[in-house]
Amino acid sequence: MTAQHVNAAQPIVTRFAPSPTGHLHVGGARTAMLCWAFAQNMKRQGFDGRFMIRIEDTDQARSSDESAKGILDDLAWLGITWDDGPTLTTPAGATIGGDSRNVGPYFQARRIDIYNAYLEHLVRCGRAYPAFETSDQLNADRKAAEAKKQTYKYPRPSDVQLGIFNEQRWARAKSGEPHVIRFVMPPTGITVTDLVLGEVKFAAGEVDDFVIRKQDGFPTYHFAVVIDDELMGVTHVMRAQEHLINTPKHVALQGALTRLKNDRDATSGSNGQPFRVPQYAHMPLIFNIDGTKMSKRDKAKAARKALKDLLTKDKTLTADAIASDLKLDAKLLADFIAAENDSLDIAQAVAAKFNIPLPEIEVWDYRKSGYLPHAITNFLSLLGWSPGLKDEQGKDIEKFDLSFLSQHFSIDRLGKTAAKFDRVKLLSFNADAIAALADDAFDRELTNWANQWEPTFAQRLKHIDGQRRAALMRACKPRCKTLRDAVKVMDFALTRDDQVAFDPAAVAKANLFAGATGHTSVTKFRAMLTELPAAGTFEPTSIDAWIKSYAETNQLKMGDVAQPIRVALTGTTVSPPLGDVVSVLGISGSLTRLDRCLSTCRTLAPASA
Partner RNA sequence: GGCCCCGUCGUCUAGCGGCUAGGACGCAACCCUUUCAAGGUUGAGGUGCGGGUUCGAUUCCCGCCGGGGUCACCA
In sign, the C-alpha dihedral spanning 439, 444, 447, 448 is negative
In sign, the C-alpha dihedral spanning 385, 97, 243, 202 is negative
Task: Give which of 361, 372, 365 is closest to 448, Cα–Cα.
Answer: 372
| Piece of the chain touching RNA by CB under 7 A; list 111-119, 261-269, 322-330, 566-574 | 566-574
Q: Could you give the CA distance from residue 501 to residue 486 in angstroms, rounded to a whole number?
A: 19
Q: Any idea how long the chain is?
A: 609
- Determine, following the binding rule CB under 7 A, whether residue 46 of this chain makes contact with RNA: no
**Size of the residue set binding RNA (CB under 7 A):** 89
Q: Could you give the CA distance from residue 492 to residue 488 in angstroms, rounded to a whole number?
A: 8
- Determine, following the binding rule CB under 7 A, whether residue 203 of this chain makes contact with RNA: yes
DSSP 8-state code for residue 108: G
The torsion region of residue 31 among left (phi > 0), alpha (psi -120 to 50) and beta comes to: alpha
- Determine, following the binding rule CB under 7 A, whether residue 140 of this chain makes contact with RNA: no
| Piece of the chain touching RNA by CB under 7 A; list 4-12, 164-172, 213-221, 463-471 | 213-221
* DSSP states of 185-236: --SS-EEEEETTTEEEEE-TTSS---EEE-TTSPBPHHHHHHHHHHHTT--E
Site for RNA in 62-91 (CB under 7 A): 62
Strand partners, 396: 390
- Determine, following the binding rule CB under 7 A, whether residue 533 of this chain makes contact with RNA: no
Is beta strand 419-420 parallel, antiparallel or unpaired with respect to 286-287? parallel
Q: How far is the CB of 228 from RNA (least distance, A)?
A: 10
Interface pick for RNA out of 134, 268, 318, 588 (rule CB under 7 A) = 134
Instruction: Specify the residue, 202 or 364, whose C-beta has the smaller distance to RNA.
Output: 202
| Piece of the chain touching RNA by CB under 7 A; list 290-298, 326-334, 353-361, 402-410 | 290-298
- Determine, following the binding rule CB under 7 A, whether residue 539 of this chain makes contact with RNA: no
Instruction: Specify the residue, 385 or 449, whose C-beta has the smaller distance to RNA.
Output: 385
- Determine, following the binding rule CB under 7 A, whether residue 491 of this chain makes contact with RNA: no
Amino acid identity, position 266: A
- Determine, following the binding rule CB under 7 A, whether residue 428 of this chain makes contact with RNA: yes
Longest Cα–Cα distance of the chain, Å, equals 105
| Piece of the chain touching RNA by CB under 7 A; list 114-122, 127-135, 162-170, 259-267 | 127-135
Instruction: Specify the residue, 323 or 443, whose C-beta has the smaller distance to RNA.
Output: 443
Q: How far is the CB of 400 from RNA (least distance, A)?
A: 12
Instruction: Specify the residue, 11 or 442, whose C-beta has the smaller distance to RNA.
Output: 442
- Determine, following the binding rule CB under 7 A, whether residue 285 of this chain makes contact with RNA: yes
Instruction: Specify the residue, 36 or 546, whose C-beta has the smaller distance to RNA.
Output: 546
Q: Could you give the CA distance from residue 566 to residue 564 in angstroms, rounded to a whole number?
A: 5
Task: Give which of 552, 578, 575, 556 is closest to 506, Cα–Cα.
Answer: 575
- Determine, following the binding rule CB under 7 A, whether residue 112 of this chain makes contact with RNA: no
* Number of other residues whose CB lies within 10 A of the CB of residue 312: 9
- Determine, following the binding rule CB under 7 A, whether residue 529 of this chain makes contact with RNA: no
Interface pick for RNA out of 71, 256, 260, 382 (rule CB under 7 A) = 382
Q: Could you give the CA distance from residue 569 to residue 580 in angstroms, rounded to a whole number?
A: 11
Q: Could you give the CA distance from residue 565 to residue 601 in angstroms, rounded to a whole number?
A: 12
- Determine, following the binding rule CB under 7 A, whether residue 148 of this chain makes contact with RNA: no
Contact call for residues 215 and 177 (beta carbons, < 8 A): no
Q: How far is the CB of 575 from RNA (least distance, A)?
A: 5
Q: What angle do CA 488, 586, 440 make, to 5 degrees?
A: 60
Report the run of H or E that residue 200 belongs to, with start and end.
strand 198-202
Please report, for residues 14, 361, 482, the alpha-carbon distance to residue 369 in angstroms, rounded to integers and kept in the order given.
31, 11, 7
Q: How far is the CB of 376 from RNA (least distance, A)?
A: 14
Q: How far is the CB of 160 from RNA (least distance, A)?
A: 16
- Determine, following the binding rule CB under 7 A, whether residue 289 of this chain makes contact with RNA: yes
Q: How far is the CB of 273 from RNA (least distance, A)?
A: 26
Instruction: Specify the residue, 138 or 160, whose C-beta has the smaller distance to RNA.
Output: 138
Please report, for residues 358, 382, 509, the alpha-carbon distance to residue 431 in angstroms, rounded to integers and kept in the order given.
20, 17, 31
Contact call for residues 550 and 522 (beta carbons, < 8 A): no
- Determine, following the binding rule CB under 7 A, whether residue 53 of this chain makes contact with RNA: no
- Determine, following the binding rule CB under 7 A, whether residue 562 of this chain makes contact with RNA: yes
Site for RNA in 225-284 (CB under 7 A): 241-246, 284
- Determine, following the binding rule CB under 7 A, whether residue 343 of this chain makes contact with RNA: no
Site for RNA in 8-27 (CB under 7 A): 17-19
- Determine, following the binding rule CB under 7 A, whether residue 573 of this chain makes contact with RNA: yes
Instruction: Specify the residue, 178 or 455, whose C-beta has the smaller distance to RNA.
Output: 178
- Determine, following the binding rule CB under 7 A, whether residue 388 of this chain makes contact with RNA: yes
In sign, the C-alpha dihedral spanning 189, 194, 200, 205 is negative
Give me the 167-186 binding string for RNA, x by CB under 7 A, dash otherwise: -----------x-x------
Q: How far is the CB of 551 from RNA (least distance, A)?
A: 8
Cis peptide leading into residue 373 (ω within 30°) = no
* Number of other residues whose CB lies within 10 A of the CB of residue 515: 10
Interface pick for RNA out of 201, 261, 444, 462 (rule CB under 7 A) = 201
- Determine, following the binding rule CB under 7 A, whether residue 104 of this chain makes contact with RNA: no
- Determine, following the binding rule CB under 7 A, whether residue 595 of this chain makes contact with RNA: no
Return the C-alpha torsion angle 103, 109, 111, 112, nearest 10.
Answer: 170
- Determine, following the binding rule CB under 7 A, whether residue 521 of this chain makes contact with RNA: no
Q: Could you give the CA distance from residue 183 to residue 253 in angstroms, rounded to a whole number?
A: 8
- Determine, following the binding rule CB under 7 A, whether residue 571 of this chain makes contact with RNA: no
Q: How far is the CB of 182 from RNA (least distance, A)?
A: 9
Amino acid identity, position 554: N
- Determine, following the binding rule CB under 7 A, whether residue 206 of this chain makes contact with RNA: yes
Q: How far is the CB of 536 from RNA (least distance, A)?
A: 19
- Determine, following the binding rule CB under 7 A, whether residue 424 of this chain makes contact with RNA: yes
Angle subtended by helix axes 26-44 and 373-381, to nearest 10: 80
- Determine, following the binding rule CB under 7 A, whether residue 288 of this chain makes contact with RNA: no
Q: How far is the CB of 131 from RNA (least distance, A)?
A: 8
Q: What angle do CA 136, 140, 141 make, to 5 degrees?
A: 120
* Number of other residues whose CB lies within 10 A of the CB of residue 575: 21
Q: How far is the CB of 30 from RNA (least distance, A)?
A: 10
- Determine, following the binding rule CB under 7 A, whether residue 511 of this chain makes contact with RNA: no
DSSP 8-state code for residue 207: S
